[in-house]
Structure 1
Amino acid sequence: MSINTASVGSGSGTTRRTFEFGRAHVVRPRGKHQATIVWLHGLGDKGSSWSQLLETLPLPNIKWICPTAPSRPVKIFGGLPSTAWFDMGDTSEDTTDDWEGLDASAAHVANLLSTEPASIKLAVGGFSMGAATALYSATCHALGQYWHGNPYPINLSAVVGLSGWLPCSRTLKNRFEGSFEGACRAATLPIFLCHGTSDEVVPHQLGEKSAQVLSSAGFRNLTFRTYNGLGHYTSPEESVELCNWLTGRLGLEGSQT
């Protein structure tokens, strides 16, 4: 297994945690390599689950990197360990955000993208908790820094979130106040969000509220798609729309039929 570690702290030296990330599964492009997307799984899952699905999509010009989250105690499971991009007690707006965990996972995503060729467009996406982490990465890109102030090094071309939510929604708008560059980057970053009305894990209204918070913070180039009757899983209709959106936003030469 390939293990990568990330250590984060407040900058004061008072507290540091080290996270060990599991294996990253890579789906190589079948055509001309034009974009690389890091795709993040949901709570309790692993990268291999999504790599098997993503390689079936008619997107031959995309390289997919599917990392595996660290195994850690998770509050929502009563402190039992699970693969998770960050700690969480629930999916409500009132839950306490695990900024260290979010920063470590966003830094891991950035590290995976950092070795890609300069001509390749870079993106991040995910499902459920993976979508939440992808959206957090979008805020880091726009603000140019992680929560604790270290510079965010990646220029993202697109962000995708399926059945997810925005983990930093309560503080996001305040963080963008007075940041002209942040507002400009936010306004031009394409974001594609999908959510089912019958999602029993992450309620549709939470996903919708997250989209509204992002829009009000300045993320103008945002699309939110609702799927009637869809639970906490993907659907063929959603996959088709995702492929079309990525092809258009990333300027891909075309998809395979």
Structure 2
Amino acid sequence: MAVAASMKNLIDTAHIIESKGTHKYSIIWLHGIGNSSDTYKDIFTQIQPPNTRIILPNAPQQWITIQGSMAASSTKKMIENAQIIPSKGVHRYTIIWIYGLGGNADGYTEVFIKMQPPNTRIILPRATKRWVTILGRQYYLESWWERDDACVEEGTVIMDKLRELIDDEIKLVKNASNIIIGGFSQGGCLSLTTGLTYSKQQLGGIICCGGIFINEKKLLEKISEYSKTIPILTIHGKKDDIFKWNDVEAGLELLKQKGVGDNMEVLAEDDVEHIISPQGFDLISKFIKKQFKI
């Protein structure tokens, strides 16, 4: 069943040149790094044999390292792929929101349009669509990293890009205090870790929902001096089966040892699973307005 589901997704994302005549033969052609099916479709249309269907699968777009530098990894690229809700009025504030595994920017657009404060631009970066394994089955989903054990390596690359995005937004809103970064699940991990390790200025706030600080020695060492004073909102369900509450508590205790504590508001909801509850969304809205003094 898992294989059938995976193949269906591979077909769904492929470019297919249908057979001329009865379909008796198939050619499956895989493109190389940096290419797509568009590179080959004209060629195969010209050389297509009779009775032959040609399938050109598309590899997922993702961050890669070539000779020590990241390919297709500029902040401009992240902005171009992002869902952007323009500011109502003069752009003075920015919210960067990062969703979790299997989510998408569209899923949060309506929510943020409803809670959008005046003079605030909202940026919803899009994750790469890729094959991920969940409970032994493969799914083609938007995800910030491929496997849980790759969250540090791949997450570090994304966090570098998020910090660059923050740098660019500061040029527009004049000060990092006018920027809040937040997210859910994988996005919560990224927002909390990115925010705590951003060292140029103090951000306006960090929101972490259903996530946890990415506990890795080199990231702990990068926690900035602003981590002790930046306003932080953490929301987590005690019945969360993805990031267990016990693990979250341990992570929060570790951050306290680094001096992060008095500046962090924690909402732990007894009967809530891996979601953001209505109470959570209400608290997020109030937190944003408070930090932006709106």
Report the TM range for the smaller structure's normalisation: 0.7 to 0.9
- 1:136 aligns with 193
Could you list the per-position Cα deviations for residues 87-131 of structure 1 after superposition, in whole angstroms to 9, with x for gaps in the alignment?
A: 333xxxxxx453331122112323333332143512210001100
Q: Which of the two has greater helix per residue? A: 2
> C-alpha separation between the residues in 1 aligned to 2:70 and 2:87?
37
Which residue in the other structure is 2:158 paired with? 105
- Supply the distance in 1 between the matched residues of 2:264 and 2:188 (Cα, whole angstroms): 14
Which residue in the other structure is 2:13 paired with? none
| Structure 2: gaps of 5 or more residues | 1-60
The letter of the residue matching 1:83 is E
The one-letter code sitting in structure 2 at the alignment partner of 1:47 is A
2:174 corresponds to: 119
- Which of 83, 94, 100 is matched with 1:25 structurally? 83
Q: Aligned partners of 2:103 and 2:219: how far apart in 1? A: 31
Q: Kindly indicate whether residue 275 of structure 2 is the aligned counterpart of residue 228 of structure 1.
A: no
CA distance in 2, matches of 1:160, 1:72: 26
Match of residue 184 from structure 1: 225
Letter in 2 for 1:185: Y
2:126 match:
68
Does the CA contact (< 8 Å) of 1:31 and 1:60 recur in 2? Answer: yes
In the alignment, what sits opposite 1:246?
A: 288
**Distance in 2, Cα, partners of 1:5 & 1:82:** 12
Q: C-alpha displacement at 1:191, in angstroms?
A: 1.3
Which of 259, 263, 271 pairs up with 1:218? 259
d(CA) in 2 for partners of 1:174, 1:235: 29
> Using the alignment, how far apart are the partners of 1:72 and 1:26 within structure 2?
23
Instruction: Name the SS of the counterpart of 1:30 in structure 2.
Output: coil
Distance 2:220 2:161 in 1: 25
The residue type equivalent to 2:160 in the other structure is A
Unaligned runs of 5+ residues in structure 1 are 90-95, 145-152, 177-181
Whole-angstrom CA distance in 2 between matches of 1:29 and 1:160: 20
Q: Counterpart of 1:208 in structure 2: which amino acid?
A: E
Higher relative contact order (CA 8 A, sep 6+): 1
Q: Give the C-alpha shift of residue 155 in structure 1.
A: 4.8
Is residue 179–residue 205 contact of structure 2 (8 Å, CA) maintained in 1? Answer: yes
> How many residues matched?
225
Structure 1 counterpart of 2:211:
164
Larger Rg: 2
Report if the CA contact (8 A) 1:159-1:192 is conserved. Answer: yes
Deviations 1:196-232 (A, max 9, x none): 1222332222222222222222223111111121121
Query: Structure 1 residues 140, 97: closer, same or farther in 2, change over 3 A?
Result: farther
Contact 2:180 2:288 in 1 (8 A): no
Distance, in Å, in 2 between the alignment partners of 1:54 and 1:87 is 27
Give the equivalent residue in structure 2 for 1:92.
none
Contact 1:102 1:136 survives alignment (8 Å):
no
> Partner residue of 2:23?
none
> Percent identity over the alignment?
19
Whether the 8 Å CA contact 2:205–2:232 is kept in 1: the answer is yes
- TM-score w.r.t. the length of structure 2 is 0.65
- Give CA-to-partner distance per residue, 1:44-64, whole Å, 9 cap, x none: 111121122111115334321
Measured in 1, the distance between the counterparts of 2:85 and 2:70 equals: 33
SS of match in other structure, 2:236: strand
Tell me: CA distance 1:14–1:235, structure 2 relative to 1, closer, same or farther (3 Å): closer
Q: SS of the counterpart of 2:157? A: helix
CA distance in 2, matches of 1:196, 1:32: 36
Deviations 1:178-200 (A, max 9, x none): xxxx5532212221100112223
